[in-house]
Amino acid sequence: MDSRLFCCVDGGASNTRVALYDAAGQRLGLSVGGPTSLTIRGAEAWREILSVFENLARAVSLEGSDLTGIHFGIGLAGANNTAQRDLFMAAAPPVGALRVSTDAYIAALGAHAGAPGAVVIVGTGSVGYRIEAAGRSRLVGGWGFQVGDEGSGAWIGRQAIMQTVRVLDARHRGRTTEMHRAVAARCGASRNDMLAWLWKAEPAQFAGLAPLVLECAGDGDTAALAIITEAGREIDALAEALDPGRNVPLALVGGLAEPLDPFLPDRLRKWVRPAQDDPIHGALMLAKGRAPDETIVWQNR
């Protein structure tokens, strides 16, 4: 009897999902922990992954200290940075097997059951990914919060904050809306309070403002609508960069994919198809060695 166990990890900038499967593909349990994006945590992401795994192992009556029989399939945000990925793999404890990819890769694997296709992840960050024939793949975006993540939750929150600080400065005269007042109430209605919030804020905190902006947009708030509409255009641009002809299957995944759907350009909504499965199933394919090694083609085409 095959006694191997497979630990499947889908790690992002806000949270991490960890699932445990037996050799027959039966899910034994799933648990959620904190962020493990390599951009934010680096090799320290192992602390969070192992902590969640140990809690999960106890919950399913499995001894969590011995990892030598566990095969890990791990997809992490920020793993497209090869230096950070190498450091993460070098810090790994002794395990049965270890395969590490980007979170976008496991999302694409799950969305299209390993077949060629494209995904755009819309969560705390944003990234586009396309699996091509012979295991080749293409990555678009994924540059991180400082210069990228367009259309994501963190990007939406940042746009709202940028407008709100102008309101606090009286540089947004006559254009203040309920969204600005709600953001100020959440993050700081004075310069000192806003600066205190900004000092501690990471991408996940900015992304935490996205539901507020979406709610305001749904109520017709003009400032919120402008931000959310632009977010839709940015997501469409990521998708088009993956396939200008819009011929391959495309899925939108991530925590904001569904809430943003009403605000997406019509041409994008017509292209999108439901994902066949979630990123955890892509991580399971990775853990079982059923997925080709991730091969990213960087050049523009």
| % of residues, the chain, pLDDT over 70 | 94
Instruction: Examine the pLDDT at 301 and tell me if it is beyond 50.
Output: no
Lowest mean pLDDT across 16-30, 124-138, 242-256: 124-138
Predicted pLDDT at 67? 79
Q: What integer is the mean pLDDT of 69-92? A: 87
Q: CB under 8 Å to 247, separation ≥6 — which residues?
A: none
Backbone angles phi, psi at 292, to 5 degrees: -65, 155
Q: What integer is the mean pLDDT of 53-70? A: 76
Instruction: Examine the pLDDT at 174 and tell me if it is beyond 70.
Output: no
137 falls in which pLDDT band (50, 70, 90)? confident
Q: What integer is the mean pLDDT of 8-33? A: 88
* List of domains in the chain: 5-113+276-294 (3.30.420.40), 115-274 (3.30.420.40)
Q: Tell me the pLDDT tens digit for each residue of 71-80.
A: 999 999 888 8
Q: Tell me the pLDDT tens digit for each residue of 138-165.
A: 888 888 777 888 999 999 999 999 999 9
Lowest mean pLDDT across 89-93, 188-192, 216-220: 89-93
123-145: b or e for each residue (b if 16 or more CB lie within 10 Å)?
Answer: bbbbbbbbbbeeeebbbbbbebb
Amino acid at 270: K
Most confident of 52-66, 122-136, 214-228: 214-228
Predicted pLDDT at 153? 93
297 falls in which pLDDT band (50, 70, 90)? low
Decide which of 63 and 208 is more confident.
208
Global pTM reads 0.83
